[in-house]
Amino acid sequence: METGKTEGVVDDVAGKVEDAAGGITGDSSAQLAGKAREFRGKAEQLCADTCAMLRDATVEKPLTTLTLAALAGFVVGLVWRAGDRR
């Protein structure tokens, strides 16, 4: 398991514990902080999974990846240019 994903799992579990502890003690700020930490953990896991998927795709099909990156850059350039005209 990668470092980012591990940190995400730790934050997710810690957030759930903090949320539960806040519920037991009636501390709504602790519950909110726990939910925020849980959300951050899920986001870290998603980011790590996406990076791993992109890394695998880049290794398996480098020409396709380069083509998609060039196309994305072209589209961003068109959008940027259209925004400058306004």
Q: pTM (2 decimals)?
A: 0.65
End-to-end CA distance of the chain: give it in Å, rounded.
47
| Residue range of the domain that includes 50 | 3-85
Please choose, from the candidates 33, 8, 7, the residue with its C-alpha nearest in 3D space to the C-alpha of residue 18: 33
3-25 and 28-60 helices cross at what angle (nearest 10)?
160
What domain count does the chain have? 1
Q: Running along the chain, 86 residues long, what does each successive block of 10 average in pLDDT?
A: 79 88 89 90 91 90 92 94 79
